[in-house]
Amino acid sequence: MYWTGSCGGCDVSFLELGAALLDVLSKVEIVFWPALVDAKRADVEALPAGAIDVALINGTLRTEENREMAELLREKSKLIVAYGACAHLGGIPGLANLSQREEILAAVFGDGFRPTPPPGGSPEDAPPELLAEALPLSAAVRVDYVVPGCPPPPGLISRAFDALLGELPPTGHVFAPEKALCEECPRTKEERRLTQVVRPHEVLPDPEKCLLDQGMICLGPVTRGGCDAACPKAGMPCTGCLGPTPNAGDQGLAMLSALASLVRAGEEGEAAFASEDKVLDAIVDPVGTFHKYALPATWRVPSPLRGGGSGRGGRP
Ligand code: SF4
Ligand code: SF4
């Protein structure tokens, strides 16, 4: 188990299994899990190729060290699982791809910052270089399976462990249903006609009706199910963490397309454009709304345009 550019939530998510986690742990030997076991990178380097049965990797690839560790674990592991939305799609940290690396460093550390060793340290003690852009795991190494979610919900974690400890599905399998979240959401859907867009903090939603019908941008129609509609049940629209259904393809574009057909201001044709635009203008953060998790996996900008160039700091 390893995290790269991660918030740590994916590591904690295993606790959601409760007592079932003890059963899983009784069947495996953990050779490397920095959050739990005192094993170092050198211990992994000393292992023969393929010595690890399964490596679950969570987090976005954001630094050179992240990429090196992903490559090391790929060499030492028979199977690699992209665990969580960051490893699967780039995740929320991938929204940083809207800014260039140098802009990010300047905003956080001040103009002209470069990673350097601490006083008296050797060059190897310097913090790792940021890659030119945040990347999903599959941009650096071959990924065998995906457990999606931010973090993955317990039902899907169980499903993945059952398969990994039993009968393996075909390579490339995503441990989540292919059907859209709307299929498992208990909220009632009606004839949808959006005349306004609202944000979750602006309304107290009707507890029974579809949130999209009530003007919230809910990505349920284009997102895989598997979480038992936890967010919509609690009155929060789906933000798409389980990734697109196979039919949706580009999750953000699919939702935009669906939305465009739902917005109706009363009039027809060109007369309606201005008022329909006004409805859509209420979406204050379009990229964060439609590509909250999948920006790095969906939109790749050539690295020279991102100030990355090739080699160190460039994209893999
Ligand atoms: S997928 Fe979500 S919970 Fe997991 S590391 Fe990324 S942000 Fe954290
Ligand atoms: S609330 Fe969201 S997930 Fe539920 S039916 Fe409506 S659009 Fe689909």
pTM over 0.85: yes
Within 10 Å of residue 34's Cβ, how many Cβ atoms? 14
Identify the residue whose C-alpha is closest to ligand 1 atom 2. Answer: 150
Res 282 pLDDT > 90 = no
Ligand 2 centre distance from Cα of residue 232 (Å): 6
Res 312 pLDDT > 60 = no
Taking only the tens place, the pLDDT of each residue in 233-270 is 999 999 999 999 999 999 999 999 998 888 875 667 77
Chain-centre distance for alpha carbon 220: 16
Give the DSSP letter of residue 60.
B
What backbone torsions phi and psi does residue 166 show, to the nearest 5 degrees?
-130, -110
Identify the residue whose C-alpha is closest to ligand 2 atom 8. Answer: 182
Ligand 1 centre distance from Cα of residue 157 (Å): 14
Q: Which of 150, 241, 242, 293 for a ligand 1 pocket mutation test, highest count of atoms within 8 Å of Cβ?
A: 150
Q: For residue 181, which ligand has an atom nearest its CA?
A: 2
> In Å, what is the CA distance from 173 to each residue of 108, 177, 271, 279, 281?
38, 10, 47, 38, 38
Q: Please tell me the predicted confidence (pLDDT) of residue 305.
A: 42
Q: Please tell me the predicted confidence (pLDDT) of residue 115.
A: 83
Res 303 pLDDT > 80 = no
Within 10 Å of residue 170's Cβ, how many Cβ atoms? 7
Largest CA distance in the chain: 71
Taking only the tens place, the pLDDT of each residue in 91-133 is 999 999 999 999 999 999 999 888 889 889 998 888 899 999 9
Taking only the tens place, the pLDDT of each residue in 57-72 is 999 999 999 999 999 9
Q: Is there a contact between 224 and 149 (Cβ–Cβ < 8 Å)? A: no
Query: Does residue 58's CB lie within 6 angstroms of at least one atom of ligand 1?
Result: yes
Please give the average per-residue pLDDT across 22-46, as a whole number: 95
